[in-house]
Structure 1
Amino acid sequence: MVTLSPGMLLIADPFLKDPNFSRTVILLCEHEEKGSFGFVINRLFDQQLDALIPDVLRTNIPVYYGGPVQVDTIHFVHQQPELIRGGVEIIPGIYWGGEFDNVVELLNNGTLDLNKIKFFIGYSGWTTGQLEEELKEKSWIPSSSSPSLVFEPQEQQIWQLSLKHLGSNFAMMANFPIDPSLN
């Protein structure tokens, strides 16, 4: 069994049927005995940040569907700790959260590099032992992450790239049909 830790990726099995997680990749931000949480990094939400947060004046900032839990909350991961106060480093080069007022100010004055920050509505969460059970059921393929995968600008390619990152045995899974019975 793989030891889970913050910063890992959870790659949805090609045949995972749950519509919240089909062909998704989750960045695990916290994993403790009491539970785990992370963000789906490859599913765009249908609204942009300025539509959700009126204080954000800059337009065309994408928001990702972080998961089905608390979809009335905004979260973020970034690579700009020198600018964003209060973030927590989850692996080298990737930080989770920080002072949101600080982020809004930096967005509005154009200081932040939008290629180095990702916003999420909601999150993905698991109670005690739930994620371990899903791993036993092979719903998820755990993997190491990298800033280049997490902040890949072509979000529709992240699932395939994550599988290919694991080597040739997994790379062929990237081309599996969603429903093999239709093949």
Structure 2
Amino acid sequence: MKNNAANPPKSGDLLISEPFLQDENFVRSVILVCENNENGSFGLVLNKQSILKLSDLLDGADFLDAVVYVGGPVEQNTLHFIYHDSNPLPGSISLAEELWWGGDFEVLLERLKQGEMLSDQVKFFIGYSGWAAGQLDNELEEDTWIVCTSADYAEIFDDSAEEMWRVILKNMGGEYQQMANYPIDPRLN
């Protein structure tokens, strides 16, 4: 399997960790690429739940029983969010059709409180995954990541975080479908 590092991932693409990656921050991870340019890359791990709820982190969010995910090992004292909606929040960055990153947090909370947006349309993250300029390109050359450019965004907001890695690989078909069944430790195969 070879990834084409000449076509780097773009915003809205997914990075799927290779089956035997042993980095504890990224084992069986699915990362949504939010930004990738000459200055570096920024993404959010979609399938690593923390033990926290949003109400544990924010006063006034008691009405929202939302799980918080670990977006990555960088700056875990920061809060990020993505959402899917046809009506973007002020300041949001488009990642794909009706998929947004960030925006006016107060407006988000108000829409959720008023029922204008459902909690299953939003994912919250502490921390993020970041790469210095050229670092992600090197990791792609080393086949650390599989790039998925055609993800079904419904999968991103599905609550089955522990199965997300496997489901996305299976849906990619071909050799990826086989990889979805690889054990974490190849000695157990």
Asked whether the two chains share a fold, i.e. TM above 0.5, the reply is yes
CA distance in 1: counterparts of 2:145 and 2:41, whole angstroms: 14
Is 1:154 aligned to 2:160, yes or no?
yes
Residue of structure 1 aligned with 2:125, choices 110, 120, 129: 120
Which residue of structure 2 lines up, in the alignment, with residue 80 of structure 1? 85
CA distance in 2: counterparts of 1:10 and 1:67, whole angstroms: 13
Which residue of structure 2 lines up, in the alignment, with residue 96 of structure 1? 101
Confirm or deny: 8 A CA contact 2:29 2:165 kept in the other structure: yes
Residue of structure 1 aligned with 2:139, choices 134, 137, 146: 134
Gaps of 5+ in 1: none
TM-score (norm 2): 0.91
CA distance in 2: counterparts of 1:165 and 1:33, whole angstroms: 31
RMSD, aligned CA: 1.4
Is 1:68 aligned to 2:73, yes or no?
yes
Of 92-101 and 149-158, more deviation after overlay is shown by 149-158
Confirm or deny: 8 A CA contact 1:12 1:141 kept in the other structure: yes
Which residue of structure 1 lines up, in the alignment, with residue 15 of structure 2? 10
Tell me the CA shift for residue 81 of structure 1: 4.8
Is 1:40 aligned to 2:37, yes or no?
no
Identity of aligned residues (%): 40
Tell me the CA shift for residue 151 of structure 1: 1.4
Confirm or deny: 8 A CA contact 1:85 1:98 kept in the other structure: yes
| Aligned residue-pair number | 183
Of 73-82 and 11-20, more deviation after overlay is shown by 73-82
CA distance in 1: counterparts of 2:61 and 2:36, whole angstroms: 31
Tell me the CA shift for residue 77 of structure 1: 0.6
Confirm or deny: 8 A CA contact 1:134 1:140 kept in the other structure: yes
CA distance in 2: counterparts of 1:146 and 1:90, whole angstroms: 13
Tell me the CA shift for residue 137 of structure 1: 0.9
Tell me the CA shift for residue 101 of structure 1: 1.3
Confirm or deny: 8 A CA contact 2:88 2:100 kept in the other structure: no
Confirm or deny: 8 A CA contact 2:64 2:119 kept in the other structure: no
Query: What SS does structure 2 have at the residue aligned with 1:105?
Result: helix
Residue of structure 1 aligned with 2:178, choices 158, 172, 180: 172
CA distance in 1: counterparts of 2:147 and 2:122, whole angstroms: 23
TM-score (norm 1): 0.94
Query: What SS does structure 1 have at the residue aligned with 2:81?
Result: strand
Equivalent position amino acid for 1:151 in 2: F
Tell me the CA shift for residue 146 of structure 1: 2.9
CA distance in 2: counterparts of 1:143 and 1:80, whole angstroms: 22
Gaps of 5+ in 2: none
Of 16-25 and 160-169, more deviation after overlay is shown by 160-169
Tell me the CA shift for residue 108 of structure 1: 3.1
Of 129-138 and 50-59, more deviation after overlay is shown by 50-59
